Amino acid sequence: MEPDTFTLTQDAFNAHMLGSVMDATGVPGETAAAARARCAAIVEMFRTFSPANAMESMIACHCISLQFVLNAAMRDAGNIELDPAVLTRVRASAMTISKTLHLWMAKYEAMHIRNETRAAEAVKQTARPETPEPPPPARRDQPRPIAAQPSNVAIPAVQQPGRTVPGMKEALLASAAMLPGASPNGRLSVAPS
């Protein structure tokens, strides 16, 4: 037998998984009409998941099975004829099943969103042109602000014993003195004329 014969289409895989769920969720003594209604409900639940691949199909079928198990557990948890100790264990079991179902639903939702995002990105990649358009050239017709223009101002140094450190105050004053319209007296204010 060749390995190629083991591949299934997504629809065939979905049908196989749904058949397993339908077989596993059967109730003893179920009538034919009840079985048809249950199977139709399973198919409708599966359609609402709209799985896109085998992993999503498996999680969807797992969630559907858990829903039927949860329904049975809730029915047992509501049975007041049970012994109180058994009733407590059954209710705890129902809560555990409910939490498990919720976790699987959240996992499915996260996976489904991730897969849809990846598919959308793949479509964007195929829709983009092969060569990106060059960015528009920068406009050089507008003058640069004075602060952005390079300055050839020498920064004066503050003498300290043993080393020379330029002072920030002196550097600012020297650059202000060299600005057009500024007084060359080394002060930030213009001297009155």
The residues spanned by each domain of the chain are 9-127, 152-183
Along the 193 residues of the chain, how does pLDDT read in single tens digits? Answer: 466 677 888 999 999 999 999 999 998 999 999 999 999 999 999 999 999 899 999 999 999 999 999 999 999 999 989 999 999 999 999 999 999 999 999 999 999 999 999 988 888 888 776 666 676 766 666 666 665 555 565 555 555 555 555 555 555 555 544 545 555 554 555 455 5
Residue 45 has, within 13 A of its CA and on its CB side, a CA count of 20
> Is this prediction's pTM over 0.75?
no
Cα end-to-end span (Å), the chain: 104
Measured over the CA atoms of residue 137, residue 143, residue 145 and residue 149, the dihedral's sign is positive
CA 60-61-66 angle, 5° bins: 100
Q: Which pair of structure tokens corresponds to residue 9?
A: 């289409």
Number of H helices, E strands in the chain: 5, 2
Among residues 35, 46, 94, 34, the alpha carbon closest in space to that of 70 is found at 94
How many C-beta atoms lie closer than 10 Å to residue 173's C-beta?
16
Alpha-helical (H) ranges within the chain are 10-24, 32-49, 54-77, 84-127, 168-177
How many C-beta atoms lie closer than 10 Å to residue 21's C-beta?
22
165 DSSP β-pair partners: 158
